[in-house]
Amino acid sequence: MMQALSAADAGKLAAALCAVELVEDGMRLGLGTGSTAAWMVRCLAHRAKREGMRLTCVPTSTRTGTLARVLGLNVVTLEEAGQLDVTIDGADEFDPQFRLIKGGGGAHLQEKIVAAASDRMVVITDPSKEVAQLGAFPLPVEITPFGQSVTRARIEAVLAGAAVARRDARLRLVDGKPFVTDEGNLTVDLFLDRIDAPEALDTALLAIPGVVETGLFLGICDTVVIGHPDGRAELRRKGAEPETRRMDLSVVASLPAG
């Protein structure tokens, strides 16, 4: 019997299956973080086992690393893998130029390092994350705990002069306590509503001592896969005509548990 899938999960599965079709035997892969990436890891493990593929996988968070290992994928560090062929990851927003906001799951530092060390970055997503202009999703900025109040004040000063629609910076909390990243850092979420000049904002934020990384991924992603609940996956590649593929969602019954 087919496992009951919510519409959201069906779309994520469609995107994940389509992205995993792009993987070839022998590849070195970056594995993203988040709920869509978790579907991709399950699909990847299933295909790798079924086809006896030799893959080398670099996770972008502790949680993805744990899932990938449990599902039998060959997990190594980025240092061991070196340059990667492709990273497959989710995103919180993407625009027509394939610029992204990431980090809703708090892993954007490792995600950006791994994606930047990859020849290609494939984003797996759903239609709700497509925007004409970035900024509706709060922009995560990872900062060091040391000097955090000074760093936050400087972030606010940058926002005062930035081309954005709203200027609200909040320390991310979980259960009332500061959220701590895999690197032991803090996250400030910037509620901006609309970012008119993402490159300029990124440059200004990264120039602040204490800012480790922003969730803006600019010029990194070259492929977006948009999954739909009916199993369609829209494959958009830079410089190529978009195509639509149909995924068999009944495979969910054969996937290893997430």
**Closest distance of CB 141 from ligand 5RP, Å:** 13
Site mask, ligand 5RP, residues 71-90, x = CB under 6 A?
------------------xx
Query: Which residue from 117, 81, 91, 97 is spatially nearest to 32, judged by alpha carbons?
Result: 91
Neighbours of 117 (CB within 10 A): 16
Nearest Cα to 194, choosing from 224, 223, 165?
165
Q: What are phi and psi of 256, to 5 degrees?
A: -65, 155
Question: Which of residues 30, 36, 114, 186 is near ligand 5RP by CB under 6 A?
Answer: 36
Under rule CB under 6 A, residue 185 binds ligand 5RP: no
Q: What is the spatial distance between Cα 221 and Cα 85, in angstroms, rounded to a whole number?
A: 13
Q: Quick one: which of 28, 46, 99, 102 contacts ligand 5RP (CB under 6 A)?
A: 102
- Region 4-33 residues binding ligand 5RP, contact defined as CB under 6 A: 32-33
Q: How far is the CB of 183 from ligand 5RP (least distance, A)?
A: 13
The one-letter amino acid code at 125 reads: T
Q: Is 172 in the site for ligand 5RP (CB under 6 A)?
A: no
Q: How far is CA 64 from each of CA 39, 49, 190, rounded to the nearest angstrom? A: 11, 18, 25
To the query of whether residue 111 is one of the catalytic residues in this protein, the response is: yes
Total residues at interface with ligand 5RP (CB under 6 A): 18
Is residue 135 a contact point for ligand 5RP (CB under 6 A)?
Answer: no
At residue 220, the 3 state secondary structure works out as coil
Which of 9, 85, 92, 202: binder of ligand 5RP (CB under 6 A)? 92
- Interaction of residue 105 with ligand 5RP, rule CB under 6 A: yes
Question: Which stretches of the chain are DSSP H helices?
Answer: 7-21, 35-51, 62-70, 78-81, 108-116, 148-160, 198-206
Out of 104, 138, 198, 229, the only residue in the binding site for ligand 5RP (CB under 6 A) is 104
Which of 35, 97, 128, 244 contacts ligand 5RP by CB under 6 A? 35
Q: Which stretch binds ligand 5RP (CB under 6 A): 97-105, 161-169, 175-183, 225-233?
A: 97-105
Contact between 229 and ligand 5RP by CB under 6 A: the answer reads no
**Which residue in 79, 80, 111, 213 is the catalytic one?**
111
Count Cα neighbours of 202 within 13 Å in the Cβ-side half-sphere: 16
DSSP secondary structure letter of residue 214: E
Angle at 94 between CA 92 and CA 98, to 5 degrees: 140
Q: Which residues are catalytic?
A: 111
Q: Which residues bind ligand 5RP (CB under 6 A)?
A: 32-37, 89-92, 102-108, 111
